[in-house]
Structure 1
Amino acid sequence: MIRNTSGCPLYLGGIAFLLLASAASAQNTGNYPARPVRMIVPFAPGGASDFVGRILQPKLSEELGQQVVIDNRAGAAGNIGVEMAANAPADGYTFLLGNVGTMAINPAVYAKFSIQPVRDFICPSLVVDVAGALAVHTSVPGNTFKDFVDYVKSRPGKLNYGAAAASSAQGLTMEYLKLKTGMDIQQIAYKGGAGPATTALLGGEVVASLVTTASFVPHVKSGRVKVLGVVAPRRVAALPEVPTFLELGFTELKNGSWQGVYVPLKTPAPVVKRLFAAVTKVMADPWVVERLSAGGADVLVSKSPEDCGAFMKTQTEFWAKIVKQTGVTAD
């Protein structure tokens, strides 16, 4: 046995060091957060993720007792922000506001991207589900999804629909619906998100578009488009007369563009627990619920971090299957 100059076994000194380090770590996490916290939003200002982040930011700041600072890191369909968050210190002072695209779809369509969210992150909780909506131009006959399917089938290969991107949740959802119904309709992917795809629909450049519900609500009320179905676990408050695709028989379309809070894998359990408690309380705030609902987003809170992790795994497997079936790739 190797001994130091005092004659004590060296491993006792090592144990003492580890105990001191453990105590210091516990003290540090017990005081969490002791300084401002960064929320990485992996998209540009003005989009759905930024919309949700800016509603949560003031209330999370209040609940945590420290300023939460939004850091928009757009690029590569959100992968730049995801990589930055994954490589941040695992101390709770940087968290990611990730969504279905960055956390479940991108791993399947960006085969060369090194980050695997299920492996590299812990999810304290989901926060919202932003419903997707299939809207059609007023020139399309009928008022139901079945009417639309029949119309498309009567003109195989002659019609186009708009999407925010080929590999977006909405674009892949439409491709999934094509597979299930046998529709032959071509996708036009618009750079810049839901805005250009919505503009194209309003102008009659495409006969349909599948993007977030919030993009269509004002135009439905003005009679410029018709919404035939929403991708959500339940009907959307802003469009109560529109059925979900679950109701229409598409049982795998249970969620829209969900979003959640994510921290690097080795974040200490007390920090994860603190974030879970803070998010749960904030998402029950009527001020938050009202503003999210007005934008077409429903509160979707996990029962626990483990519950969120299981949801992530299921969603990653589901979207990998859809990507394989449709052949969509971003590489």
Structure 2
Amino acid sequence: MIVPFSPGGASDIIGRIIVLSGLNEELGQQIVVDNRAGANGNIGAQIAASADPDGYTFLFGSAGVMSINPSLYVSSNLKPTRDFIAVTQVADIPGTLVVHPSVPVTSVAQLINYAKAHPGKLNFGSSGTGSLNQLQMELFMRAADIKMVHVPFKGGGPAAIALLANQVQVYLSTLSTSLPYVKGGRLRILSVIAPQRRPEFPDVPTLAESGFPSMTTGTWQGLFFPRGTPRTIVDRLYGATVKVLERAEVKRGVASAGGEVVISKSPEAFTAFVGSETERWAKLVKDVGLVAK
């Protein structure tokens, strides 16, 4: 299984949980996790796409790699909706809308009003130009009719540190990143990006509850085979993965990594989901005028 990011990140952790907690056993094969980082995930994805479609190589893909990168890296030959067979979604990592405590707001509505009353005063951080959390914030700002200044960083860690230092005031962070800082009183959470409220913050509304019904998914992750893989192999991996994801220990493990298990109804359903996500982000990338350098 190719993970297109370095060891220790959310994709790597959740991918290893699924493999080590039963996928080896269900498939009767020893699965090796192969981290191939670089080019915002494109290097690993290209290696997976070029692999023989014999069922022995599959990709642990994510929203950024599979749905955003195609619009950012316009010169790349990689087209995930063409080059891969979607098997199933496995997890979603909820996002959180957090602010530095110096910002005098305690709700999404108050943030919107404050941003309108103080144009250009608020900076928002991201893990990089064209990153999922930048695009999510661009989507939020357009829907809310507000403007904040984008400050990109080289990864989510540096962006979180900048927020703690009040170098930026707003950040759409993964739940796993923001959780300790919110619990410790160093950041204030306004909303979560998830289909429903999170048990970690049962009193915090979702963005959908706050008036943004299209913003319900965080950083989704799933399994993909190279194009040309036989349907019988696709079905076998789908069935084995569903069995593993239904295990209580796997759900606990994914939750401990800041995510939640999500199982697609079928490979076709996941294919449709990836296609709709790709179209959604392509439109936003074009509207914002982003091109990866």
The alignment's TM-score, normalised by the length of structure 1, stands at 0.86
Does structure 1 residue 302 correspond to structure 2 residue 264?
yes
Say which SS state the counterpart of residue 211 (structure 1) adopts: strand
The structure with the larger Rg is 1
Does the 8 A contact of 1:159 with 1:206 survive in 2? yes
The residue aligned with 2:231 is 269
Matches within 5 A, 1:23-102: 39-58=1-20, 59-102=22-65
Are 2:67 and 1:104 equivalent residues in the alignment?
yes
Secondary structure of 2:33's counterpart equals strand
Tell me the residue number matched to 1:31.
Answer: none
For residue 325 of structure 1, report the CA deviation from its aligned partner.
2.0
TM-score by length of 2: 0.97
Of 100, 119, 129 in structure 1, the residue corresponding to residue 82 of structure 2 is: 119
Per-residue deviation, 1:222? 0.9
The number of equivalent residue pairs is: 292
Identity %: 46
By how many angstroms is 1:228 displaced?
Answer: 0.9
Structure 1 counterpart of 2:181: 219
Instruction: Answer 1 or 2: higher relative contact order, Cα 8 Å, separation at least 6.
Output: 2
Contact kept? 2:95, 2:172, Cα under 8 Å: yes
Q: What code does the residue aligned with 2:111 have?
A: F
Residue correspondence of structure 1 range 291-330 to structure 2 within 5 A: 291-330=253-292
Match of 1:252 among 214, 224, 228: 214
State the Cα RMSD in Å: 1.2
Question: Contact (CA 8 Å) 1:238, 1:294: kept in 2 or not?
Answer: no
- Whether the 8 Å contact between 1:132 and 1:257 is mirrored in structure 2 is yes
Bigger mean CA deviation after superposition, 263-272 or 142-151? 142-151
Q: Output the CA distance in 2 between the equivalents of 1:306 and 1:184.
A: 38
The answer to whether the Cα contact below 8 Å between 2:109 and 2:210 also exists between their aligned partners in 1 is: no
Once residues 274 and 105 of structure 2 are traced to their aligned partners in structure 1, the CA distance between those partners, rounded to angstroms, is 37
1:123, CA displacement in angstroms? 1.1
One-letter amino acid matched to 1:43 = F
Please, which moves more after superposition, 84-93 or 223-232?
223-232
Extract unaligned runs of 5+ from structure 1: 1-38
Question: Match for residue 137 of structure 2?
Answer: 174
Unaligned runs of 5+ in 2: none
SS of the residue aligned with 2:32? strand
